Amino acid sequence: MKLTADIRKGFLILLAVASVSTAFSQYAYDYKRSADKFYANGDYYSAADNYEKLLEQSNGKGSTTEPYTVQKKGAKASKVEVRRSEIVYRIAESYRQLNNYAKAEKWYGEAASNKSQYPLAAYWYGVSLKANGKFPEAEKSLQDFLASYKINDQYTEQAQRELSSVQFIQQQMNRKDLQLYSVAALPVNAAGADYAAAWNNNSLVFTSTRADSTVLKGKNKNPYVNNLYISVGSEGVYGTTQKMVLPVTDDMEQGVASFATDGNTMYFTRWTKKNGKNLAAIYVSHQQNGSWTAPELLGGKVNVDGYSSQQPQVTTDGKYLLFASDRPGGAGGFDLYFAQLNNGQPGAVSNFGKSINTKEDDQAPYYHQPTGTLVFATKGRVGMGGYDLFESKGNINSNWTEPKNLGYPVNSIKDDIYFFNKGTNRLLSDAYISSDRSSECCLQLFSVNKVYKQYVTGLVTDCKTNQPVSGANVKVSGVTSVTLNSNNDGSYFFEVPAFGDMQIVASKENYNDATASFAKPSAETDTLHNNSICLSPIEVVVAPPVEEKKVELKAYFDFAKYDLKAETGVLLDTLVALMKREPKLGIEIYGYTDKKGTDGFNINLSRLRAEACKAYLVQNGVDASRLKVFAKGECCEEKPETKADGSDDPDARQANRRVEFKIILQSL
């Protein structure tokens, strides 16, 4: 009897184990089948949920090995092999597609240990770590990927760019001007994604995936569907948020709107999922009697069958429609395009070209008319996150400057996209962006405002030589009151609270004052450059001798003498007064003799005569450094000392016994 009881007990245990195993197999089969279907259709939210439930059931069964073999209830049902590594990688991929890097990091971290089966896991693990602010760990994972991944393809290039991005991030976060920026989440943000801000008739219009009960019509239906919403309020104030009334068919989502200046024409995107891929097109709707008309698909110039066109923006002058598309002929992924509008209808479509577009996705174009700036989001340049916002200067249908990253804190280590300016002349005043920086999964709306510091620079020059004038006094009046001195290179630089009409006065000793007026600039700028002022030097005019008065700068001496005569003192006193009045002048003093005597005697005598004049000038207050003495001897006679008949001419000899004074302008 005891044996029979033991057998019965063992049978009951086996039956219970079999029942649990059968129940697990049924659950696992259902989760696996559902998850695979959602994954294939691009419903990553539902796919991740079902895959995680599958692993929960597996762990609850007490099994940690792989593969798991599950079988649908029924004798002839086929077996479904469940490998943990495959499920882990698909969960990671699903969360990445949802931009939920916080959760993707965990699963990629596990998948990265299986390099042979999932070689890209280390790359995406590094990307996830970077998105979560773990920069040293991200750098190591990316380096590990590059060391083990031996294929020279797009992922190698992207990984190298991501490494550069980690360095760029750290440099940006240490900028000295961060206090000038204000980035704040909008109060309209709700559960789900909120993005792509626009303003129309003083109301904020945006796209949102907030839960919508009207779409819950079937099993596992995802309630987070993209639709346009409007926050109705007064100027600059957000009011009640409500869904825009636009007819939409099942399985179609819509958003990212742009409005013509009159507010009555709206361009926006609609899309559906086909084979797991979003297929988007641009539509137009018109406001009539307070309601929007049924959306109309724009023509084939903008929308190309089988490809996506999305994210329209109509320029404020109404002349162009900008959008992104993955149509053939681009640089790769999504490129930026524009079309000229004629009565609201687009004409021929043009690519923005290689200076803007990259091999990766370039999206969400926005043209800021006052500053002539194209702002767009791209994954194809060194930045901080997945998508970064860049700016480039130019005019539509013209050349563009090298795109420049808008930097931190406009960009973050996550996705930053959908730039919009409310209409101010400053690019980053009253601006809006969409970012998932504060969210685990989804884009949110943020306002961006920058305090702009404004400067005026210029140069003070000499009007005659065009050379810089250092140490000039520069006074500014108008929008501010500033007094400063020009630098060694003649430049000046000062800050103003705001640009306006201003007057600048420059002055310096020995120069005439100069005044220049500058008007407020018509376009946005941080610095007014090249506000040059030239100063005219005060000219020293030495009147030439008046022939009638026979004014001569000469002193005469007796034979073989160098004593100063009384009349010479009058001349020298005049020179003293001139030198004291004009500090830039100097005098060259030349001594001469007649032809009597030896050459050596005459050279020495001429020097003594010149030195006697110099000594007088110095004794009366003239700096000796401004005087130069030259001994000329019997050279350079004023008159021949012998008459035509050969006799001596005493008057000529007297004229040659002289000292001449030459007034010069000394170099500065």
Chain position carrying tokens 């899309």: 271
Residues, the chain? 668
* Predicted local distance difference test score (pLDDT) of residue 538: 87
Q: What is the mean pLDDT of residues 348-360?
A: 95
CATH architecture of 549-665: 2-Layer Sandwich (3.30)
Single-letter amino acid code for the residue at 50: N
Burial of 289 (0-12, 13-18, 19+ CB in 10 A): exposed
DSSP 648: B
| Lowest-confidence pick of 115-124, 212-221, 274-283, 629-638 | 212-221
Q: What is the mean pLDDT of residues 281-291?
A: 94
CATH of the structural domain 250-450, one choice from 3.50.50.60, 3.20.20.140, 2.120.10.30, 2.40.420.20: 2.120.10.30
Chain position carrying tokens 């599958």: 54
* Predicted local distance difference test score (pLDDT) of residue 44: 94
Nearest residue to 125 (alpha-carbon basis) of 105, 148, 99, 153 = 105
E strands within 116-192?
A: 181-185
Nearest residue to 659 (alpha-carbon basis) of 567, 588, 556, 564 = 556
pLDDT: is 545 or 477 the higher one?
477
Question: What is 233-287 written as a DSSP string?
Answer: -STT---EEEE------TT-EEEEEEE-TTSSEEEEEEEEEETTEEEEEEEEEEE
Q: Is 306 helix (H, G, I), strand (E, B) or coil?
A: coil
Q: What is the mean pLDDT of residues 51-73?
A: 61
| Lowest-confidence pick of 22-36, 314-328, 463-477 | 22-36
| Lowest-confidence pick of 76-90, 234-248, 435-449 | 76-90
At 188-241, the pLDDT tens digits run: 999 889 999 999 988 999 999 998 766 655 554 667 789 999 998 655 567 789
Percent of the chain at pLDDT exceeding 90: 51
pLDDT: is 268 or 76 the higher one?
268
Give the fold, CATH level 3, of 454-535. Immunoglobulin-like (2.60.40)
Nearest residue to 63 (alpha-carbon basis) of 47, 79, 90, 82 = 82
pLDDT: is 240 or 45 the higher one?
45
Alpha carbon distance 318, 332 (integer Å): 28
562-to-100, 388, 551, 650 alpha-carbon distances in Å: 104, 89, 22, 18
Residue 25 pLDDT grade (very low, low, confident, very high; cuts 50, 70, 90): low
* Predicted local distance difference test score (pLDDT) of residue 550: 46
Instruction: State residue 291 phi and psi, 5-degree precision.
Output: -125, 155
Q: What is the mean pLDDT of residues 158-163?
A: 89
57-to-68, 90, 107 alpha-carbon distances in Å: 11, 17, 17
Residue 65 pLDDT grade (very low, low, confident, very high; cuts 50, 70, 90): very low
Residue 28 pLDDT grade (very low, low, confident, very high; cuts 50, 70, 90): low
At 12-21, the pLDDT tens digits run: 444 444 444 4
| Lowest-confidence pick of 92-106, 158-172, 480-494 | 480-494
- From first CA to last CA, the distance across the chain in angstroms is 130
Residue 531 pLDDT grade (very low, low, confident, very high; cuts 50, 70, 90): confident
* Predicted local distance difference test score (pLDDT) of residue 643: 85
CATH class of 2-172: mainly alpha
* Predicted local distance difference test score (pLDDT) of residue 316: 95
**CA 512, 516, 522: angle at the middle one, nearest 5?**
170
Q: Give 554's contacts (C-beta < 8 A, 6+ positions apart).
A: 571, 658, 659, 660, 661
* Predicted local distance difference test score (pLDDT) of residue 318: 95
Nearest residue to 306 (alpha-carbon basis) of 332, 287, 279, 285 = 279
* Predicted local distance difference test score (pLDDT) of residue 11: 45
* Predicted local distance difference test score (pLDDT) of residue 549: 45
* Token duo for residue 28: 């696992």
Q: Give 552's contacts (C-beta < 8 A, 6+ positions apart).
A: 545
Helix (H) or strand (E) holding 346: strand 345-351
Query: Which residues of the chain are in CATH 1.25.40.10 domains?
Result: 2-172
pLDDT above 70 for 8: no
Nearest residue to 494 (alpha-carbon basis) of 528, 466, 525 = 528
pLDDT: is 249 or 13 the higher one?
249
pLDDT above 70 for 177: yes
Mean pLDDT of the chain: 86
* Predicted local distance difference test score (pLDDT) of residue 240: 86
Alpha carbon distance 601, 359 (integer Å): 93
Contact 382, 390 (CB under 8 A): no
pLDDT above 50 for 547: no
* Predicted local distance difference test score (pLDDT) of residue 667: 61
* Predicted local distance difference test score (pLDDT) of residue 1: 45
At 613-624, the pLDDT tens digits run: 999 999 999 999
pLDDT above 90 for 588: yes
Query: Which residues of the chain are in CATH 3.30.1330.60 domains?
Result: 549-665
| Lowest-confidence pick of 18-27, 505-514, 649-658 | 18-27
| Lowest-confidence pick of 32-41, 209-218, 590-599 | 209-218
For the chain, the maximum distance between any two Cα atoms, rounded to a whole number of angstroms, is: 179
Alpha helices in 42-83 (DSSP H): 44-60
Q: What is the mean pLDDT of residues 444-456?
A: 90
* Predicted local distance difference test score (pLDDT) of residue 566: 87
* Predicted local distance difference test score (pLDDT) of residue 51: 93
pLDDT: is 221 or 369 the higher one?
369
* Predicted local distance difference test score (pLDDT) of residue 546: 46
Q: Give the count of beta carbons closer than 10 Å to the beta carbon of residue 253.
A: 19
Burial of 110 (0-12, 13-18, 19+ CB in 10 A): middle
Query: Which residues of the chain are in CATH 2.60.40.1120 domains?
Result: 454-535
pLDDT above 90 for 266: yes
* Predicted local distance difference test score (pLDDT) of residue 522: 66
Contact 584, 538 (CB under 8 A): no
